[in-house]
Each structure stands twice: as C-alpha cells, then as structure tokens.
Amino acid sequence: MARFRLSPLAEQDLEEILAWTHEQSGEQGRLRYEALLVQATLDLAADPTRPGCTTRRELSPGAFTYHLRYSRDHVPSSTGRVKKPRHFLLGRFTPDDCLEIARVLHDSMDLPQHLPPGFTQRVDAM
C-alpha cells in the first residue's frame, strides 16, 4: 500500500465535513462518515486504478478524483453504511509514490474554483 498525506486544506475540509455531519446526524452519523472517509483513502492508496478513480488531466498532470460512494461496501458492517455519500477526494501521487490528498470536496462544488494553490503545477515541480 502506498503512503498518503493530507494537505492542510484537506485536513480543514475533513474537520468541517465531520463537524457538519455530527451536527446533522449525531455522533453515530459522524462515526459512519469518518469510517468511510478513512476507507476511501486506504482504498485509493492501495489501488489508484480502482473503479471510480477518474483522471483529471485538465486540472493538473496526474490529478484524479475518487468519490466516496465507491468505498461504501468496504467499510465494516459493524460501523454502519453511509447511504448517500456526497464527497470526493482530489489527489495525485508524488514522485516518491505518496498519495497526496489535496482536497475533500462536496460533489456539488465547482472543482476548479476549489483547487489548492499550486495544484495546477506538476507535482515534481513543488
């Protein structure tokens, strides 16, 4: 499995998503969504060519998105299932094979408006 890291913006995205989920769905809802977010990251790090991973060359060389719905069935049933996840991961791999999660965004957002600074540059230029 590849290593992964979250950008500061992705960390902020996660905090906001989980706080909102807790407010709307309570602690159990937040725990379910948190488990799904973790599972999606692990799934993507293990296999970046998995179904649901969409290359986004128009955003940046090597960029891709991965919607959480593709990892719903991989979360342990004891945690519970998120019926309609609405977020996706924006990422790319660094030259040293580390998965970089740049953002975690709601699927209704206009993605180009929410790119992190410098994301349109080649990852090896950073």
In this predicted model, what pLDDT tens digit does every residue of 83-99 receive, in sequence order? Answer: 899 999 999 888 888 88
Domains in the chain: ranges and CATH: 3-107 (3.30.2310.20)
Q: What is the pTM of this model?
A: 0.87
- Per-residue pLDDT for 1 more than 60? no
- Per-residue pLDDT for 82 more than 50? yes
Ramachandran angles phi, psi of 64, nearest 5°: -150, 160
Query: pLDDT category, 123, cuts 50, 70, 90?
Result: low
Q: Cβ contacts of residue 105 below 8 Å, gap of 6+?
A: 13, 87, 88, 90, 111, 114
Amino acid symbol at 109: M
User: Distance between CA atoms of 76 and 74, rounded to whole angstroms?
Assistant: 6
Query: pLDDT category, 6, cuts 50, 70, 90?
Result: very high
Mean pLDDT in residue range 21-49: 93
pLDDT of residue 125: 41
